[in-house]
A and B are shown apart, each in its own frame.
Chain A
Amino acid sequence: DTAVSQTPKYLVTQMGNDKSIKCEQNLGHDTMYWYKQDSKKFLKIMFSYNNKELIINETVPNRFSPKSPDKAHLNLHINSLELGDSAVYFCASRGLAVTDTQYFGPGTRLTVL
């Protein structure tokens, strides 16, 4: 079974549309994250939730809204998509111990036309 899964894997859409990316983890972790990797391959953290509570919210446009219905899921909704939103979005999860590491999903490649 896949530990951290994301859907869809590819997403192509027009500017101005609203889209969602879903993430699920079956590791029993309490903390989940969203990262964005742009064309220059830099990975930047966007959000983090711990047990459904937002704990990290980096400088991200408010068009991006994460939602955590339960601690196994962290979805990312993006309103009014812009060209600059094109990137690969990765979901990750982590346990609570200090030495716990993050497990990443396979990524969702978003292309805004």
Chain B
Amino acid sequence: LAKTTQPISMDSYEGQEVNITCSHNNIATNDYITWYQQFPSQGPRFIIQGYKTKVTNEVASLFIPADRKSSTLSLPRVSLSDTAVYYCLLGGSGNTGKLIFGQGTTLQVKP
């Protein structure tokens, strides 16, 4: 499966919009882009998934350019409770649904 690259850490303040960009230059045609969130001492939790263009749900937005070689997770107006590790993943399709997690981006939201 293709590898993803994302910043190791980011800092933000409450109320700000946070954008985390993930690079995936070797994304395959049938790969979906999925983002997970993990709080300390908890399992990863699905945030959002997309294939191309823009996807929005009640938690976040996902922007994917036409070439699909990158994607940006946008968290509007973050709060302290959004402090977590955010993982960008490719694939997960097919009957195995195999996911390969990178090191993720540790987002620290400050008051």
Contacts and interface: CB of A to CB of B under 8 A. Distances in A.
Q: How large is the interface on B (under 10, 10 to 19, 20 to 34, 35 or more residues)?
A: 20 to 34
Contacts of B49: 99, 101
Contact of B99 (A41, A45, A98, A103): A45
A25 to B, nearest CB: 12
A105 B43 contact: yes
A107 B98 contact: no
A55 B46 contact: no
Q: How large is the interface on A (under 10, 10 to 19, 20 to 34, 35 or more residues)?
A: 20 to 34
Contact of B95 (A4, A31, A103): A31
Given A92-B43, A104-B43, A98 B101 contact: no
Contacts of B43: 4, 90, 92, 104-107
A112 to B, nearest CB: 19
Decide if the interface of chain A is mainly helix, strand, loop or mixed: strand
Contacts of B98: 45, 48, 56
A20 B32 CA distance: 34
Contacts of A106: 42-43
A92 B94 CA distance: 16
Nearest to A95: B97
B29 to A, nearest CB: 13
A41 B34 CA distance: 19
